[in-house]
Structure 1
């Protein structure tokens, strides 16, 4: 065989090949199906997806042989890539002066017939070939050659899709790593800030007590502003911690518990006043689920129903139903409601409806984002329906078994 020439763009071609990150990868069903189909269509003994590396031919897929690579200098495919736009068709290698100097052999098969379609990427570089071979002279019909061309294009498309998927996975890994670092940073900062804030609140009360008779009304108000701001910051920090620690809740094992007992426990934690009435599910359902995660969901939603309520008597109704796969819940209150233009973004992190709660404080947009995150980790979804100044209903479901 006459040694094949080296393409004029060889360095760029090799860079393009390596950039695909396909060399020496595992076999894949999609590529093996293409070589099997190529053999069937052309009625040949061997079909290869052959990539021309610097000094070797490496086979991403092979049908009819078992070897994975051969030397580049002794290959027909290295000749085929010299003319990227034209298939290399050799009816009989024994009668072709380029190849008849010695017998061409692939594994235990003598290669007499060869047809190779260059695998050309979007930049025009021939990376290798989709080729078929046989041990006897042959010719391909126009339809067979057309089909082989189509299959070669599919090979290139698969290469590019695999590369995009690999790139996306790399990006996801980097983002996950950065996200973990951000979580650790937020967790450490939040913990470190809580103690100084507690000291500010305590010191403010102490100073106010010591200087009570020496300060005028306006000065005392400044102390109140400091304390109120400190409590607001402390609540914000607690919400940040809850958000980043919520993922750990998903790892808790399912347990059996009464939904109504869980709701009573939450009401005690919230220190409910007499002007608030609750309607629990009548059938007092017993659930088998992640109790801690569900407690966090209800704690946030019930807390919001109380905070964002401008009625003299607050009414909150909690309903439950289930089917074979999901538990369904709803929480309805007679509160302020949510503006229609805020409904779609209410679950986004750091997004608020822009209104103050019944104490005059504005939310930080973390609580509902945390709720959505927990619900989705439990295999469910959450939505909200609201009518301003009338009522708001949060509906969510979680999977029975994860």
Structure 2
């Protein structure tokens, strides 16, 4: 018997093998289906998907034997991964000096073997798709082609498994970063609110105490301080609202768009604002509070950035096979074309004051986008500068 040699790039090969995290995993139907097909096509009682570790041959899928691994130094697959040919074939191991006295031949009657190295795109042979028989055999050309085709499917399964692992890790890392960022934002917001309240109180106190002095410079400075403090408070509140968005998704219920609009109207009570509904739709099992928040933010945005004496907001709904669609139209100042692609990003604003003279924080539409995506939908805007905007968002049914 001749022990299989190690590939010249063995350490790199082992590193690649371990990156797939397939060793010691449970049997899977996708691999078992392939070994069944290989056994049927090649008319052999044994078929395996193997992975060559440092000192063992792990059997990811096995048909015809009970063991889950075997020593690498007696494995046929250890020789197979070294071949430059598409398939490594041993027609009769009893007369092959590499396998004479091999325990697999003597004790398990592994006489015939055919194995296809399972190579990555980088050329690392991780293992084999192989078949065994207890008697000498010859594979015809069609059987060999079929075995090669099945081996390609095994590689695709390997790659899909690796990609799923990488995706899961990326999602976990993203969730962890988001949690840390949320904790950081809450901490900063909490730490800022206390001194900010002191500043606002001091500004109000000074304004009242020196109101009779009528010093124009003093009045102007106090006005700037008051405006800055209010902007900072709005910024903090917007930041907290952005990170609280996910908590609005838990509770679901059946509701009509008309009911939601009526609830939102109560928040925006003002004789100057006209909110109307063009048509209603029935919404089934939706996060009502999240939808109310989206609509309320869009109405608030349409009112704040509006120079009309009577801001008008018109809502409408539609239903498709997979989505609910809700549009919120306003007669506000509109959004310049070159800014429409960025308005949903956090901290992005048009740089203009609203109807009350305040600058936006850039968190309102970012929160809307975050909520809509959590609802399984998308949000778009169709806007004409100085004429108004139509925001349309979808909710997956």
State the secondary structure of the residue aligned to 1:344: coil
What is the alpha-carbon distance in structure 1 between the residues aligned to residue 3 and residue 280 of structure 2? 85
Which residue of structure 2 aligns with residue 11 of structure 1?
A: 11
The answer to whether the 8 Å contact 2:14/2:53 transfers is yes
Counterpart residue number, 1:371: 368
Any residues of structure 2 matched to 1:63-102 within 5 Å, and which? Answer: 63-85=63-85, 87-101=87-101
State the SS of the aligned residue for 1:345: coil
Counterparts of 1:9-158 in structure 2, within 5 Å, are 9-85=9-85, 87-101=87-101, 104=104, 110-158=109-157
**Deviations 1:248-270, CA, capped at 9 Å, x for gaps:** 010124265x7556544434433
Q: 2:339 aligns with which of 338, 342, 357?
A: 342
Q: Which runs of 5+ in 2 are unaligned?
A: none
CA distance in structure 1 between the partners assigned to 2:300 and 2:42 by the alignment: 71
1:395 paired with 2:392, answer yes
Give me the whole-angstrom Cα distance separating, in 2, the residues matched to 1:356 and 1:262: 29
Query: Structure 1 residues 265, 30: closer, same or farther in 2, change over 3 A?
Result: closer
> What is the TM-score of this pair, normalised by structure 2?
0.89
Does the 8 A contact of 2:94 with 2:105 survive in 1? no
Using a 3 Å threshold, how does the CA distance of structure 1 residues 255 and 146 change in structure 2: closer, same or farther? Answer: closer
Query: CA offset at residue 382 of structure 1?
Result: 2.6
SS of the residue corresponding to residue 49 of structure 2 reads strand
CA distance in 2, matches of 1:125, 1:324: 47
Please report the RMSD computed on the Cα atoms of aligned residues, expressed in angstroms. Answer: 2.8
Distance 1:25 1:219 in 2: 74
Q: TM-score, normalised by structure 1?
A: 0.88
| Aligned residue in 1 for 2:329 | 332
Classify 1:301/1:95 alpha carbon distance in 2 versus 1 (closer, same or farther; 3 Å): same
Tell me, yes or no, if the aligned pair for 1:197 and 1:230 is still in contact at 8 Å. yes
The verdict on how the C-alpha distance between 1:129 and 1:305 changes in structure 2, with shifts beyond 3 A counting, is same
- The within-5 A match list for 1:101-250 is 101=101, 104=104, 110-214=109-213, 216-250=215-249
8 Å Cα contact 1:85/1:118 also seen in 2: no
Aligned residues: 397
Write the distance in 2 (CA, Å) between the matches of 1:391 and 1:280: 17
282 and 211 in structure 1: CA distance in 2 versus 1, 3 angstrom threshold = same
- Asked whether 1:297 is paired with 2:297, we answer no
Which residues of structure 1 form unaligned runs of 5+?
none
